Amino acid sequence: MASLKSALRTAQHVRTATRGALLWGYEQRLAREVGEHGKLPRHLGLILDGNRRFAKAAGLQREMGHSFGADKAHEVLQWCLELGIPSATIWVLSTDNGGRDPEELAHILGLLEREARQLSVDPRIHGNRVRVRAIGQHDNFPPNVLAALNNLEESTAHYDGMRLNIAVGYGGREEITDAVQSYLRGQAAAGKSLTEVAQAITPDDIGAHLYAADQPDPDFIIRTSGEIRLSGFMLWQSVYSEFYFCDVYWPGFRRVDFLRALRDFQGRDRRFGK
């Protein structure tokens, strides 16, 4: 009986090792295909969804899902740097999330502060001259979180490499509202009447006042967790974006999933509404 159990364990180890080797080989092939094709998003949007469900499925406290999700964001940043993706926006916390359980929200904000402080001294950020910006509405954030975000932005403000936007306290409708208000304030300061503004306003006027107006619109947006909706992510900018919805929860998002998504993007014919 003991020898049978030993044989079964050995067979299990062999199967696991074989699956791992096959997955590794598949990932390497995908990486070659993506690299050889050459077409990559100029601006990649990432909706990081499924942290709580990941924790529940694994029998963990929900806060652990957010912690694993934060670690995953570090991995994905590395993948973007390796491929040379020029710009990325990751959606970490929405305006709708403000109504969550206070303990959970405090944990998320604590993670945000920790990650901002780590990124401000991360050799990858400085070595690759990554410029980081926090976009969204942050007025209600605790002072320590605001200080960490401000320090991260200031320490990378002079860089000319990859652009990384961290969308926190972010909502697409709120961004458009802020953009319109900013434009109107500028016109009022210039002495324009409401009638003059209404007659002259264009979509470009609003677009110029969005949070990341100096970057191209996202051409590819990935959402994890299997949910097939944007939930307000970059509503104005995503009018011609390509979308990819991945079934895996964010903390379980693998490099092979990332490469599959990019290969899918490379196979699409973008027509921009024509």
Is there a catalytic annotation at residue 151? Answer: no
96 assigned ligand-binding residue: yes
242 assigned ligand-binding residue: yes
67 assigned ligand-binding residue: no
Q: What tokens were used for 103?
A: 């303990």
75 assigned ligand-binding residue: no
CB count within 10 Å of CB 209 equals 18
Catalytic residue, chosen from 49, 122, 219, 257, is 49
254 assigned ligand-binding residue: no
53 assigned ligand-binding residue: yes
How far apart are the C-alpha atoms of 237 and 179, rounded to whole Å? 12
223 assigned ligand-binding residue: yes
Beta strands in 40-184 (DSSP E): 43-47, 87-94, 131-135, 163-170
Residue among 110, 84, 87, 108 at smallest CA distance from 97: 108
Residue among 231, 92, 245 at smallest CA distance from 173: 231
10 assigned ligand-binding residue: no
231 assigned ligand-binding residue: yes
205 assigned ligand-binding residue: no
Is there a catalytic annotation at residue 49? Answer: yes
Q: Residue written as tokens 């619109």?
A: 217
Burial of 259 (0-12, 13-18, 19+ CB in 10 A): buried
224 assigned ligand-binding residue: no
How far apart are the C-alpha atoms of 200 and 118, rounded to whole Å? 45
In this structure, which long-range contacts are made by residues 56-60, counting pairs with CB atoms below 8 Å and at least 24 apart in sequence? Answer: 57/249
74 assigned ligand-binding residue: no
62 assigned ligand-binding residue: yes
Helices in 131-212 by DSSP H: which ranges? 143-156, 172-189, 194-200, 203-207
Catalytic residue, chosen from 97, 128, 151, 264, is 97
At residue 25, the 3 state secondary structure works out as: helix
Indicate which residues carry an active-site annotation: 49, 97
Q: Which residues are annotated as a binding site for substrate?
A: 50-54, 62, 66, 94-96, 100, 223, 229-231
Q: Which residues are annotated as a binding site?
A: 49-54, 62, 66, 94-96, 100, 223, 229-231, 242
Q: Which residues are annotated as a binding site for Mg(2+)?
A: 49, 242
